[in-house]
Structure 1
């Protein structure tokens, strides 16, 4: 049996879908899987799946002979420095990563850039890995045909207000857009509503709304908007990532305005109906791109849906990854 070893911090909205893909891949080869939270639930002939290098090392200490698979969600040592400025966490996670990369029977990466990073940093040789990007939504056709969705410049941001989300830069960009497009609006969907209001008012934003949207209602809410912000710093953490926010926006028929620093998006997302923020662009340049797009680009919902559908067939496609993972699991 395949045992998926999870801790409380392991499962959230983003990871649950990915774990579900693994479970479906196991089922596709006629095998069974079960989510577990205790090492003593692992039998000697089980194949163990972990979703963090730290958990892999923990299982390895007690169940050394079991074959194991690990999903690398991100490059945690670099995240520790970026988000917490913690050098000791960085060193500790580097130990976890090095052990996991060398001893896992199969490594699941979210991008080719992540694999390249591990080859450069640790001398990882590859040969026992698979690329599966992070995503958790399927394309919603009805979201493309909301009345007057693409006729007014409505902007949305959904998520936390953490520093690495570059919220201040996003608001500064929107402020410039609002000054040139007086009918523009921005909606911030977050649990940190008081903080969001303070930020928006601090920048003098006029046409805004702030609210919290329950997870089960988020897709319907997102479908109302034309543009969505995904602003990121040009940093190795972001270059190897595949942010689920991109998938969420595209699935809802939203035109993403995003920092073109995610290597996997460079390689796989070639849509014309997107607004790329190039490294080195000033906020004024970004504002100009958005305003020019809004004034000159006429969005045909039928065409947009067809173009997005092609992306979901080739990049956000469950069947592709279930089949590829199933073949790897058979080999184990």
Structure 2
């Protein structure tokens, strides 16, 4: 007899990134002959259903209706810790307390938990003494390798930089602009492009440091053809817990298009991921001059296209491999749904 899984996801929880991730899980469920019903209304959930949720908020709404509902959850980040960066005040404090407690209960009751990094698992072990083996580690990613992007004309001959994504304080756009401004003074041919919906916020930062840059935004379907043009991609982060446990999606987007990432050492899982890679620039956001020095050293050697393609292809085979995660999901979920 087939088991039915209800998928509770609200419109404000879904994006191109989350949809890609969710589709991997849905396909794996279909592989074990489970029926999938996707809903955005908790009224469509029965108390005996097994429900997959992607936020603590959805789990809370579910348990208000059915306190003993069986769930599976995707833990995307350290939400209670992220709320420290939100607006101050009593309401935010109450939210932090609520989500902190909810996180503890969810981890205890979830039939299967999806984490985005080994660092996140270690964080939960330390914070809540999490000791379940019913979890899967699958990093955030939203693309497959775009080999044609590696061969974009003159891609690796130009000193071109791109910043793609959100412009929250933890995304460190300001530090990226400062870093670029220093390079621009010594290398006038250097260019910077910011690809973000938050164009006004980007303009303010550029104006603050008197830096010229192209600002634009592309839907996911058009993004790869734009990213193919650039050599380096910024992914700098400060030393914060929410950054240590994250696996930012933009890294997979950069790598898939042959963009050499300039990223911070604080992103825990990326250290292991790049342990065998030659095509990377790592650094500490508190020492931008050292990052610039590393960029200049890297610039001294030509990029061999076939070599960088092989390098990043290996990362996708090991780290961003849909087939590997699908098999792991089937292995873990199969016994739960019998």
Q: Shorter-chain TM-score category?
A: over 0.9
Q: State the partner residue of 1:187.
A: 193
Q: State the partner residue of 2:283.
A: 277
- Quote how far apart the aligned CAs of 1:113 are: 1.0
Contact 1:257 1:275 in 2 (8 A): yes
How much is the aligned-residue C-alpha RMSD, in angstroms? 1.6
Alpha-carbon distance in structure 1 between the residues aligned to 2:325 and 2:77: 18
Q: State the partner residue of 1:149.
A: 155
Alpha-carbon distance in structure 1 between the residues aligned to 2:139 and 2:259: 19
- Quote how far apart the aligned CAs of 1:66 are: 4.4
- Quote how far apart the aligned CAs of 1:41 are: 1.9
Alpha-carbon distance in structure 1 between the residues aligned to 2:176 and 2:56: 33
Q: State the partner residue of 2:249.
A: 244
Instruction: State the Cα deviation string for residues 104-137 of structure 1 (Å, max 9, x = none).
Output: 1111111111111111111211221111111101
Q: State the partner residue of 2:305.
A: 301
Please tell me whether residue 26 in structure 1 is matched to residue 32 in structure 2.
Answer: no
Alpha-carbon distance in structure 2 between the residues aligned to 1:54 and 1:198: 33
Contact 2:62 2:69 in 1 (8 A): no
2:73 to 67, 70, 75: 70
Contact 1:23 1:33 in 2 (8 A): yes
Alignment of 1:168-183 (within 5 A): 168-183=174-189
Please tell me whether residue 324 in structure 1 is matched to residue 313 in structure 2.
Answer: no
Instruction: State the Cα deviation string for residues 154-201 of structure 1 (Å, max 9, x = none).
Output: 101112222221111110001111122221111111223344234324
DSSP-derived class of the 1:299 partner = coil
Alpha-carbon distance in structure 2 between the residues aligned to 1:210 and 1:51: 31
Contact 2:163 2:194 in 1 (8 A): yes
Please tell me whether residue 37 in structure 1 is matched to residue 33 in structure 2.
Answer: no
Q: How has the CA–CA distance of structure 1 residues 188 and 117 changed in structure 2, closer, same or farther, with 3 Å as cutoff?
A: same
Q: State the partner residue of 1:200.
A: 206
Larger mean Cα displacement after TM superposition, 153-162 or 185-194: 185-194
DSSP-derived class of the 1:84 partner = coil
Larger mean Cα displacement after TM superposition, 192-201 or 261-270: 192-201
* TM-score (structure 2 length as normaliser): 0.93
Larger mean Cα displacement after TM superposition, 147-156 or 86-95: 86-95
* TM-score (structure 1 length as normaliser): 0.94
Instruction: State the Cα deviation string for residues 44-78 of structure 1 (Å, max 9, x = none).
Output: 55321011122123223433454320110111000
Q: What is the number of residues matched between the two proteins?
A: 329
Instruction: State the Cα deviation string for residues 10-56 of structure 1 (Å, max 9, x = none).
Output: 11121111111110110111212121112232245532101112212
Q: State the partner residue of 2:144.
A: 138
Alpha-carbon distance in structure 2 between the residues aligned to 1:190 and 1:212: 5
Larger mean Cα displacement after TM superposition, 56-65 or 117-126: 56-65
Alpha-carbon distance in structure 1 between the residues aligned to 2:268 and 2:167: 24
Alpha-carbon distance in structure 1 between the residues aligned to 2:188 and 2:242: 36
Please tell me whether residue 212 in structure 1 is matched to residue 210 in structure 2.
Answer: no
Larger mean Cα displacement after TM superposition, 245-254 or 189-198: 189-198
Q: Which runs of 5+ in 2 are unaligned?
A: none
Alpha-carbon distance in structure 1 between the residues aligned to 2:10 and 2:75: 15
Larger mean Cα displacement after TM superposition, 40-49 or 255-264: 40-49
1:97 to 92, 100, 103: 103
Larger mean Cα displacement after TM superposition, 138-147 or 160-169: 160-169
Please tell me whether residue 80 in structure 1 is matched to residue 88 in structure 2.
Answer: no
1:266 to 253, 271, 282: 271
